[in-house]
Structure 1
Amino acid sequence: MSSVATWPSQAENWLDARGKGAWIVAMILGFIFFWPVGLALLAYMIWSKRMFNGSCKKRDANFRHMGHGLRPTGNQAFDSYKAETLRRLEEEQDAFESFLQRLREAKDKAEFDQFMDERARRSDPEPKNDDPVTI
């Protein structure tokens, strides 16, 4: 029963190893032999973003290496350097995000002050020069 349950993932891995072209060929063959299979493969390719991203091999390689940067390498000097660099980068990211927040707040304040000035100008009655001049 376990081999039956894993055949879709084995087929997916086999197609991924051969790239996007293999997925397209499988989809076309699915349409030729039994159209719902081709339609299902097309939907899966769109849903999993296999149709629009780069090669399936690249995505699979990137997926395998995710989280690799957090594992210790066994080299204590390198691990401490990596930890210090990651800490410094996180501090820089926090500082940049706070800078962006202050920038947004300053822009919002400037826009609000401009709105209030325009509103005050509209609500102030303008002096009329139609009054007769007395001599």
Structure 2
Amino acid sequence: MNQSALIRPDWTPATIALMVLGFVVFWPLGLAMLAYILFGEKLKTFKKDANSTVDGMCSAFKRGNRANWTQPHRTGNVAFDDWREAELARLDEERRKLDEMREEFDSYVRELRRAKDQDEFDRFMRDRRNGGSGPVAPFEAN
């Protein structure tokens, strides 16, 4: 890094003055300058690591190869890896069964609601045909 730069992540008179000025004008600016002074050297490494991680994930998406990011990595212990794969397959089967049961229950509840609504509607129509004015409102103004 060029150490002759006026504003660099270090305790120089310029950065200290900017930090103090930032606190005077608007305290988050001073706090941001303090963070830059303390952690500025690490920003390049952080940015490089973050960019390489995101680039790797995006390249897996672009290739359409989900195995790179969904499959667990092999540990080198064949017995453990086989056991883990069997457990994950069992858990996937359990999740599929639970999803099917949830779908069945949701359709059952929908059918119950439809039947209840139909019963209420039939009762209303029957009362209306019999000359009734329908159910009495729970609140009547005097």
TM-score, with structure 2 as normaliser: 0.44
Asked which structure has the greater CA Rg, the reply is 2
TM-score, with structure 1 as normaliser: 0.46
Which structure ranks higher in relative contact order (CA pairs < 8 Å, sequence separation ≥ 6)?
1
